[in-house]
Amino acid sequence: MSRSPTLTLVAAFVVVFALQRVVALLQVPLTFALAPPVGARPWTLVTSVYAHLSVGHLLANVAVLLLVGLYLERQTSRLRFHAFFLVTGALSGLAEVWISGLLGPGPGVAVLGASGGIAGLVGYVLAGNRMSDTLLDRTPLSPRAQLGVFVVVAGAVTVVTAGPGVALIAHFTGLLIGLAAGRLHLLRPS
């Protein structure tokens, strides 16, 4: 398992989920969710990416992670895989917190879960493969137009995955980051 970054992430999700349950039982005031003001609990930039609200939430994220992660990990290093997942997840969470805070009244939302980072991995797989390379290289689109296509694709996927309590801005942000990174092949070892 230590060789597979995907399985390492699954193990981290399970360990953090167990820790969340222990902390809740002991009623220790330790938060895992990313919420405004972000500077008050900076560790939540990391913990929010690995934590989950429920067993169903955990299992859904693990299922998608296994589908894309086991494929993608063969094309990159463990360090690049983990760094991309964490950075994309943190940026997606920040986008959710900040944009939701700008759009709605009240104290803002709290974000919990790996779906922003996983959406980044999905986007990378969609845009960073040979078929996408061939299609995008043969299509006379400027980089700006390609970004426009990625925004439309990310928006469409976000709408399809919408549901109550789903961090739509985080999904959109993660997918958009992944699509752009896949097109640039950022995870390929040099």
CB-based contacts of 33: which residues, under 8 Å, 6+ apart?
44, 47, 48, 51, 110, 111, 112
Question: How far apart, in Å, are the Cα atoms of 137 and each of 50, 119, 146, 154, 182?
Answer: 36, 24, 10, 20, 13
Q: What is the mean pLDDT of the segment spanning 172-181?
A: 94
Q: What is the pLDDT of residues 14-72, one digit of tens each?
A: 999 999 999 888 876 668 989 888 889 999 999 999 999 999 999 999 999 999 999 99
DSSP helix/strand/coil, 114: coil
Q: What predicted TM-score, i.e. pTM, was given to this entire model?
A: 0.88
Segments making up each domain of the chain, as ranges = 5-184
Is pLDDT at 1 greater than 60 in this prediction?
no
* Residue 106 pLDDT exceeds 80: no
CATH topology of domain 5-184: Rhomboid-like fold (1.20.1540)
Rounded-to-integer distance, Cα 134 and Cα 174, Å: 23
* CA dihedral angle for residue 122, residue 127, residue 129, residue 131, rounded to 10 degrees: 130
Mean pLDDT of 138-164: 81
User: Is there a cis peptide before residue 37, judged by omega within 30 degrees of 0?
Assistant: yes
Lowest mean pLDDT among 62-66, 72-76, 147-151, 179-183: 147-151
Share of the chain above pLDDT 70, in %: 95
How far is residue 57's CA from residue 62's CA, in Å, rounded to a whole number?
9
pLDDT band at 2 (very low <50, low <70, confident <90, very high): low
Predicted pLDDT at 58:
95
Averaged pLDDT, 65-91? 96
